Structure 1
Amino acid sequence: MKMKTSKVYLFFFFCFLGSLYALDTLIHGKTLHSNETLVSAGGVFELGFFTPSKSRFGYLGIWFKNDRNRKPVWVSNREIRQAVSTGVLYIRYDGNLVLSDRMSIPNIVNNGAGPTSNKTSAKLLDSGNLILMEAGKTIWQSFDYPTDTLLPGMSLGWFNKGNADRERKQYLSSWLSPSDPNIGLYFLGLDTVDLTKSNVWRQDHAYQQIGFWDGSYFRFFFQSLLDNQYNFSYISNSSQNSLTFHNKESNILRWFVLASDGTIMEFMMEGLKVSSVSYSICDSTLPHSSTGCLVSTPMMCKDGNNFSDIIKGSIPRSMLVSWPASTGTSDCEQTCRSNCSCVAYISSMDNGTRCELFYGDKDDLLNNIRKGNNSIYVRENDSKSDHEKKRKILLIVIALLIPLILMICIKLLFYLWRKSNCSGIHGNQVGTGEVHTSQLSPNNDPSTEDVIELGRKNDHELPLLSFISVVAATDNFSACNKIGEGGFGPVYKGKLKRNDIAVKRLSKYSGQGLAEFKNEVQLICKVQHRNLVKLLGCCIEQEEKILIYEYMPNRSLDSFIFDPVKQLLLDWTKRKYIIEGIAQGLLYLHKYSRLRIIHRDLKTSNILLDDYMNPKISDFGMARILFKDESKIKTKRVAGTYGYMSPEYAAHGIFSTKSDVFSFGVILLEIVSGRKIATFHEPNCSMNLLGYAWELWKDGRCTELMDPTLGGSCPVNDVLMFIQVGLLCVQENAEDRPNMWDVLLMLSSERASLPEPKQPAYSTLLNAAADGSSISTRQNPSPNLVSISLAEAR
């Protein structure tokens, strides 16, 4: 009896331990290592680290618990190719869910959702959805960011329509290969024009429609083996258009996968048994020339709207939609007639109570003649009589238009004659269309130095907006819409197609010009990162040169950090988040982007903040490319901002990635101190901000540099570590400064492991300028050492 009682106690003890450590939830202070997993409460799904076969990269993913192959249904941060096989998943100090590899480079999993505290937890649900909760409310979920798998409850479509900053399009994207989870060549989602249609498309924009919402049901063009086993629902309102499905049977799980070759795979799991069937969007029964395989343009109603009764046959199963028809033949014909892509229909199945529509190619249909007993109604070609009527009508229209055409031609010739005479008087002028191409085309003049020209027509695939549309968007550049001004010119808030935009207009008095404009267009089109501002389009008409960006509601960092009221909103947690975000953006530019880019004008006014205070680096007008065989470049043209420029660049025109590191160090010290380098002043002190920080460091009084508004809200050791990293970044010699990879490692390490900084540049000089303005010059250096930003001539 005593032994039996002890077993009961032991059972309850283990139950108690299980309740303390929930296997499906990750909380603040706990970490998930590469050899550990989270398992949903019902044991359906598992989350952990995996390494695909034949791959040296690791990822964080979710898979079915009973799947021996652990094929993920969702992958986190798949675009970041980093080794995370020894990774860690944890809730960071700011409440974000963070993935870190063995090099301690942090990557936020919950992109697009910023928690307000560290009171968050991550939970894996039995639906396969990973959610991040704060105060009992879900603030982010993996179902909003699907990869290649559509699970029950997931949605495809457009969300937050009309909100430019938060609009989100959800679609499936295939793996790059069966062993590489990175984004592949194929995508599946709702059509961008008709949101009731569903397409598969390739990166080259060729696409194939695979189904549509008919108002009551979702109709696949292929015949699903699991027909009538799904409950599809479609939501259409002012904020979203989305398609969702659920399984009808609770004991059987069904889902879809978009394979790396574009194949749509339909899976079913009953118990531990998994079965699947594949549907090729380029069906093997179709001829290779068939337009039913990834058409590049929509099929038009070239065959008219009349249908003819052909001999008996059957419809190929590859592009067929079938459902019960309520009113027989007339109902079926009307449905087919209303869609130009519908080629034929059958309405004699089951005594006229079933309708079959064919959306493929007519030639494929004709190959099936006499292969069935159904009467097929085919969209017929225009008759000869119709052609004759159209020809007569066309002749009448031409006869009526001839006098008008002659008048237009005479006026046009007169206009061209006057224009040619004016050109002889006023010199040669370039037409508007020519201006567009010439101003963005490669510059073949070898005498023009220091202008990066990429030289390929598809380097600048940006929407080219008309000046009229930009004027309308900004209310004719209204003063009340002006939100700032920089070296390029004024910046206005505008609204284009109900989306907020930021419009940067080149001023005729600007020190920057066409070279900087072309540089920004060409470079920023080639880089995509969440810590870089997104360029949406440009406008070039006459003397106007305009750039259109995504709108940043919280403006620039300097408007917060140097404002005595707004800086109170930036506690230490937010400042750390901003510093790390800037570092991530720079690391991408220097190491991971398609081009190795040096910004050259990094400063607080060029760091923009979105709704969630995510920092985004902007203004690439002065950026330059470092090619593979280059570690540094020397230029005659020094371009940048006083106070943020590295000494080797300011004095000798030599720049490298370490030039940006110097600027980052200045920004870091500004964020910690809340003081601007260009206007720094301390009583009884003749040094600038860098010199003052250095003196406090040597005397062991670094806490005096800390912004007083932070008070006791931050750990002293944390602040001292950040100041030490800032001083390492602004050292005199470029070789002594860390690179951005090292900087991110330092920001996440212990202070004791950091090297000791050497004396920073300019530490004994007063500020060069009080306004922090940008400069661009080719002059010889001034003998006055205060103006350290002018370059030597070669």
Structure 2
Amino acid sequence: MALFLPLIFLMSFLSFFSYSSLATDTLLPSDTLSNSQTLVSAGGVFELGLFSESSSGYYYLGIWFRADASKVVWVDRDNSIVDSSGLLQIRSGNLVLTDRRQVPLIVNSLSLANVTNTSATLLDTGNFVLKGADTGTTIWQSFDIPTDTFLPGMKIGLFGLNTTHQGFHILVSWASPQNPSRGLFTLSIDADDHTKISVWRGDGTKMNIGFWNGNGLRFVFENSTGNINNFSYHSDEHDVFYTFSTTKNYDLMWFVMASTGTLDQYFMLAGKISNVSHALCGDSDGGNTGRCLTSLPSMCDDVIFSEMNGLLPSTTSTGSIYVWTNDCETLCKNNCSCTAFTSLHNGQPGCQLYFGSKQNLLKIIEKGAGSIYIRGGASSDGKKRKLWLAIAVPLASLLISISVFSFWYLRCRRKHKEDQVTRRESDQARLFQMCSNNASPIQLDEVRGANNMELGRQKDQDLPFFSFSAIKTATDYFAEANKLGEGGYGPVYKGKLLLEGQEIAVKRLSKISRQGLEEFKNEVSVICKLQHRNLVRLLGCCIEAEESILIYEYMPNNSLDSFIFDSTKQALLDWERRMNIIKGIAQGLLYLHKYSRLRIIHRDLKTSNILLDSDMNPKISDFGMARIFGDNDIRVQTKRVVGTIGYMSPEYAMDGLFSEKSDVFSFGVIILEIISGKKNIAFFDVDQSQNLLGRAWNLWKEGNGLGLMDSALHASCSSSEVMRYIQIGLLCVQERALDRPNMSDVIFMLSNESVALPHPKEPAFLTQLSSTDADSSSSRQRYYSKNDMTISEVDAR
């Protein structure tokens, strides 16, 4: 952040000083932190509370210096509050934010508590820590999700490298001095050389701004001031990171990755704060230009290593460090300060790098059965003459070859580009026709224009085209941190449109997916004609080269299965919310089956395809498998069965017959899953054969239907309502399609509690459906999925 902030931003922070503290540094389960209250660290250094972002009026949970509230050091960027009604409290052991919408926003969502007795403390280091009250074990801490500020004791780097739960700590600048959302500049350990620190700009420009020289971290902006030696570097098979401590000359020192692209260094002494802004770039706008890179050696004089017998000293005081990697030569070669290296011989990957002078190295080499590889050895002039000869001869031949080859290359390249444009325009024209009421088959000029827009509509066009460059910018180049999940189609990323500021969900076709262009076209042709509050809204699509991308409205609460099957999040869905979700799904299905411009059978309805918006309203998504029914169609048979085991109706799974009643069956499974908090296909009783439907039926026959209910609902539900919803669920999963109600009947039963319900018969699939059962008909192709991932092949209609 810049030192001098705009006046309006400073005025928005004046309200901090009128806050009332809880007179404590700790939040307990019995406490509630409102917008007008704060936590203060024990030594009075830091303060935590909700602050208002001046441009939008949103409120964020943040940590700032008590002596200067404008110096915000941490922000919960992912959970913004719409007004001043925000509250922070501990629920079920987790830190939860709420506002007037009463939607629970879990601050520690990446590391959920497995105990309910927890407390959260703001430390004098600026770290906000959630711990188990009984064990004292750290569950989550703000230092693990830095924003733009690097505080002493914080770690920047990569973690869990050899595990399935890899993580990274990076700094991302604010969007502007007034806006704490993610900006253009990212600081982190370099992905190729972990001894370097790099800064990336939003357009992909990268600059190395610091490297480890064996004694400390050397920054490119350091001149006569020397190294900042209070940094330390750690590398092993699991973690690689930098951390630092405050020098003895100051009470506190820290760094900020500013929104302008500078690295600002702050100092606190006797309560007063000063700063130095380190320019990483040569232009006036703070952008990364080629001139900046000259501050760091761009190439090394010596690229050849000579071998010598012996061992490097084992102490780091001699100017060497240990790095956990197999490619020691590349790592040393790419760091011009590295003089020599040796591979470790303990059966594990790793090497020792030496950063001192060659003269000193020859004096300290120890005897032993090892090999040391020392950079170069010939004089600088000799190497330059050899390098010139090595380059000059092949260069002359290369110039002759280029003159002959260039004509044919350019011709082929132009032809390839024309073919590529033709294929892309052909695909775009077909998609254009799918979503236009009266579109002519040839309207390529309009398609070309739409392809270069970020988001816009053309005449008679219902679905906008996004450019691939706009999608890359919106998702921060498909950053792993923005990945929401992955299904049979491919990965889904969170993004934000640069101009509109609208949050979006981006579904990108995976190159290894068995779902392809047919599903892409199918989803576009189906969903672009639909408008309902319980259906996810398709905002546009992108087709460029090999890319096929769908852009949706962003659902901040992810999918329904992430709540009802999570033992921690289940408590956040009380009975009232679960009823509203069931009713919302029913309304969306009724629209698809009866009231939309097209009659549509979804064919892959399941909890992971039900998304939840910020108010926990359900929205049906993923129409890649949907089929459009004619007005006179009652039931259709397919040779290729698609769907997810546990949700498919018996007539569809066994014979390929599907109709509206197929979706009704899936809806019935979802009702029982919402009530029980258990997956149908993953549920086992004591004999390891009975699924959720069998369990529900047996309990119903015994008059103990409430035994199916999720234990988290006991305090919030009406037993009569639960029994009624279980009965409706059982009616929807009847074995014969004729015995199931249609969605109009379901809506009526859900809305009229006084109307008596018919008694259900024994439902279908009371035991687990095995692959052998499913494939009893060898003449029919079936594509089932496990782990809620649909893998399929769609046949032409």
Q: With structure 1 as the length reference, what TM-score do the two structures score?
A: 0.50
> Aligned partner of 1:112: which letter?
L
Closer, same or farther in 2 for the Cα pair 1:170/1:516, shift >3 Å?
same
Q: What is the CA–CA distance in structure 1 between the aligned matches of 2:704 and 2:90, rounded to whole Å?
A: 31
1:136 corresponds to which residue? Answer: 136
Q: What is the CA–CA distance in structure 2 between the aligned matches of 1:25 and 1:162, rounded to whole Å?
A: 35
Residue 622 (structure 1) aligned to one of 611, 619, 624: 624
Closer, same or farther in 2 for the Cα pair 1:623/1:290, shift >3 Å?
same
2:47 corresponds to which residue? Answer: 46
Tell me, yes or no, if the aligned pair for 1:124 and 1:130 is still in contact at 8 Å.
Answer: yes
1:109 corresponds to which residue? Answer: 107
Closer, same or farther in 2 for the Cα pair 1:716/1:458, shift >3 Å?
same
User: What is the DSSP-based 3-state SS (H/G/I as helix, E as strand, rest coil) of the residue aligned with 1:670?
Assistant: helix
Q: What is the CA–CA distance in structure 2 between the aligned matches of 1:72 and 1:107, rounded to whole Å?
A: 21
Q: What is the CA–CA distance in structure 2 between the aligned matches of 1:572 and 1:196, rounded to whole Å?
A: 39
Equivalences for residues 16-31 of structure 1 within 5 A: 23-31=24-32
Tell me, yes or no, if the aligned pair for 1:677 and 1:767 is still in contact at 8 Å.
Answer: no
Closer, same or farther in 2 for the Cα pair 1:60/1:581, shift >3 Å?
farther
Q: What is the CA–CA distance in structure 1 between the aligned matches of 2:249 and 2:524, rounded to whole Å?
A: 53
User: What is the DSSP-based 3-state SS (H/G/I as helix, E as strand, rest coil) of the residue aligned with 2:268?
Assistant: strand
1:169 corresponds to which residue? Answer: 168
Equivalences for residues 523-562 of structure 1 within 5 A: none
> Aligned partner of 2:72: which letter?
P
1:186 corresponds to which residue? Answer: 185
Q: What is the CA–CA distance in structure 1 between the aligned matches of 2:601 and 2:470, rounded to whole Å?
A: 19
Tell me, yes or no, if the aligned pair for 1:79 and 1:183 is still in contact at 8 Å.
Answer: no
Closer, same or farther in 2 for the Cα pair 1:246/1:677, shift >3 Å?
closer
| Offset, 1:181 | 0.6
Closer, same or farther in 2 for the Cα pair 1:192/1:161, shift >3 Å?
same
User: What is the DSSP-based 3-state SS (H/G/I as helix, E as strand, rest coil) of the residue aligned with 2:108?
Assistant: coil
Tell me, yes or no, if the aligned pair for 2:187 and 2:197 is still in contact at 8 Å.
Answer: yes
Residue 515 (structure 1) aligned to one of 515, 518, 526: 518
> Aligned partner of 2:263: which letter?
I
Equivalences for residues 712-723 of structure 1 within 5 A: 715-718=714-717, 723=722
Closer, same or farther in 2 for the Cα pair 1:269/1:518, shift >3 Å?
farther
1:672 corresponds to which residue? Answer: 675
2:230 corresponds to which residue? Answer: 231
Tell me, yes or no, if the aligned pair for 1:702 and 1:720 is still in contact at 8 Å.
Answer: no
User: What is the DSSP-based 3-state SS (H/G/I as helix, E as strand, rest coil) of the residue aligned with 2:146?
Assistant: coil
2:484 corresponds to which residue? Answer: none
Residues 388-437 of structure 1, C-alpha deviations (whole Å, 9 max, x = no match): 5644467799999xxxx9xxx9xxxxxxxxxxxxxxxxxxxx9xx98998
Closer, same or farther in 2 for the Cα pair 1:389/1:273, shift >3 Å?
closer
Segment of structure 1 superposing worse, 78-87 or 207-216 = 78-87
2:430 corresponds to which residue? Answer: 444
Residues 517-572 of structure 1, C-alpha deviations (whole Å, 9 max, x = no match): 6778999xxxxxxxx9xxxxxxxxx9xx9xxxxxxxxxx999999xxxxx9xx869
Q: Which runs of 5+ in 1 are unaligned?
A: 1-20, 307-323, 327-336, 343-353, 356-378, 410-429, 463-485, 490-502, 524-531, 533-541, 546-555, 562-566, 591-597, 609-615, 625-632, 654-658, 681-687, 738-754, 774-793
Residues 198-244 of structure 1, C-alpha deviations (whole Å, 9 max, x = no match): 11211111022211111221001113898666511111011111000
Tell me, yes or no, if the aligned pair for 2:59 and 2:81 is still in contact at 8 Å.
Answer: yes
Q: Which runs of 5+ in 2 are unaligned?
A: 1-21, 304-316, 320-331, 338-355, 358-379, 409-415, 437-461, 474-486, 491-509, 527-535, 537-545, 549-558, 588-599, 611-617, 637-641, 651-657, 684-691, 733-740, 775-796
| Offset, 1:106 | 1.1
> Aligned partner of 2:50: which letter?
F
User: What is the DSSP-based 3-state SS (H/G/I as helix, E as strand, rest coil) of the residue aligned with 2:33?
Assistant: strand
Tell me, yes or no, if the aligned pair for 1:45 and 1:63 is still in contact at 8 Å.
Answer: yes
> Aligned partner of 2:43: which letter?
G
Equivalences for residues 251-400 of structure 1 within 5 A: 252-283=251-282, 291-293=290-292, 301=299, 387=388, 390-392=391-393
Residues 113-151 of structure 1, C-alpha deviations (whole Å, 9 max, x = no match): 121121111111110000010121111110000001111
Tell me, yes or no, if the aligned pair for 1:171 and 1:187 is still in contact at 8 Å.
Answer: yes
Equivalences for residues 6-85 of structure 1 within 5 A: 23-67=24-68, 69-76=69-76, 78-85=77-84
User: What is the DSSP-based 3-state SS (H/G/I as helix, E as strand, rest coil) of the residue aligned with 2:199?
Assistant: strand
Tell me, yes or no, if the aligned pair for 1:33 and 1:89 is still in contact at 8 Å.
Answer: yes
Q: What is the CA–CA distance in structure 2 between the aligned matches of 1:105 and 1:286, rounded to whole Å?
A: 40
1:210 corresponds to which residue? Answer: 209
Closer, same or farther in 2 for the Cα pair 1:155/1:583, shift >3 Å?
farther
Q: What is the CA–CA distance in structure 2 between the aligned matches of 1:287 and 1:61, rounded to whole Å?
A: 26
Tell me, yes or no, if the aligned pair for 1:732 and 1:760 is still in contact at 8 Å.
Answer: no
Q: What is the CA–CA distance in structure 2 between the aligned matches of 1:241 and 1:521, rounded to whole Å?
A: 44
Closer, same or farther in 2 for the Cα pair 1:506/1:763, shift >3 Å?
farther
Q: What is the CA–CA distance in structure 2 between the aligned matches of 1:341 and 1:522, rounded to whole Å?
A: 56
Tell me, yes or no, if the aligned pair for 2:104 and 2:572 is still in contact at 8 Å.
Answer: no
Closer, same or farther in 2 for the Cα pair 1:289/1:438, shift >3 Å?
closer
Residues 594-625 of structure 1, C-alpha deviations (whole Å, 9 max, x = no match): xxxx99566557479xxxxxxx999946289x
Residues 711-762 of structure 1, C-alpha deviations (whole Å, 9 max, x = no match): x77534347699599799999989999xxxxxxxxxxxxxxxxx99446999
> Aligned partner of 1:144: which letter?
D
Residues 674-693 of structure 1, C-alpha deviations (whole Å, 9 max, x = no match): 6889999xxxxxxx99xx99
Q: What is the CA–CA distance in structure 1 between the aligned matches of 2:245 and 2:60, rounded to whole Å?
A: 28
Q: What is the CA–CA distance in structure 1 between the aligned matches of 2:754 and 2:198, rounded to whole Å?
A: 58
Q: Give the paired residue count.
A: 522
| Offset, 1:706 | 3.2
Q: What is the CA–CA distance in structure 2 between the aligned matches of 1:724 and 1:108, rounded to whole Å?
A: 31
Q: What is the CA–CA distance in structure 2 between the aligned matches of 1:702 and 1:272, rounded to whole Å?
A: 71
Residues 79-132 of structure 1, C-alpha deviations (whole Å, 9 max, x = no match): 344414320001112x11111122111111112212112111111111000001
Q: What is the CA–CA distance in structure 2 between the aligned matches of 1:439 and 1:707, rounded to whole Å?
A: 58
| Offset, 1:514 | 3.9
User: What is the DSSP-based 3-state SS (H/G/I as helix, E as strand, rest coil) of the residue aligned with 1:73?
Assistant: strand
2:97 corresponds to which residue? Answer: 99
1:125 corresponds to which residue? Answer: 123
User: What is the DSSP-based 3-state SS (H/G/I as helix, E as strand, rest coil) of the residue aligned with 2:121?
Assistant: strand
Closer, same or farther in 2 for the Cα pair 1:620/1:390, shift >3 Å?
same
User: What is the DSSP-based 3-state SS (H/G/I as helix, E as strand, rest coil) of the residue aligned with 1:198?
Assistant: strand
Q: With structure 2 as the length reference, what TM-score do the two structures score?
A: 0.50
What percentage of residue pairs aligned between the two structures are identical?
33
1:201 corresponds to which residue? Answer: 200
Residues 434-467 of structure 1, C-alpha deviations (whole Å, 9 max, x = no match): 89987995462666679989564458879xxxxx
> Aligned partner of 1:706: which letter?
L
| Offset, 1:709 | 7.7
User: What is the DSSP-based 3-state SS (H/G/I as helix, E as strand, rest coil) of the residue aligned with 1:104?
Assistant: coil
Q: What is the CA–CA distance in structure 2 between the aligned matches of 1:576 and 1:505, rounded to whole Å?
A: 36
Closer, same or farther in 2 for the Cα pair 1:61/1:601, shift >3 Å?
farther
Q: What is the CA–CA distance in structure 1 between the aligned matches of 2:607 and 2:750, rounded to whole Å?
A: 30
1:159 corresponds to which residue? Answer: 159
Tell me, yes or no, if the aligned pair for 2:219 and 2:227 is still in contact at 8 Å.
Answer: no
Q: What is the CA–CA distance in structure 2 between the aligned matches of 1:289 and 1:573, rounded to whole Å?
A: 43
Equivalences for residues 482-631 of structure 1 within 5 A: 514-516=517-519, 574=570, 603-604=605-606, 606=608, 620=622, 622=624
Closer, same or farther in 2 for the Cα pair 1:572/1:38, shift >3 Å?
closer
Tell me, yes or no, if the aligned pair for 2:114 and 2:568 is still in contact at 8 Å.
Answer: no
Closer, same or farther in 2 for the Cα pair 1:395/1:144, shift >3 Å?
same
User: What is the DSSP-based 3-state SS (H/G/I as helix, E as strand, rest coil) of the residue aligned with 1:205?
Assistant: coil
User: What is the DSSP-based 3-state SS (H/G/I as helix, E as strand, rest coil) of the residue aligned with 1:247?
Assistant: coil
> Aligned partner of 1:113: which letter?
S
Q: What is the CA–CA distance in structure 1 between the aligned matches of 2:706 and 2:511, rounded to whole Å?
A: 34
| Offset, 1:263 | 1.5
> Aligned partner of 2:278: which letter?
Y
| Offset, 1:291 | 1.1
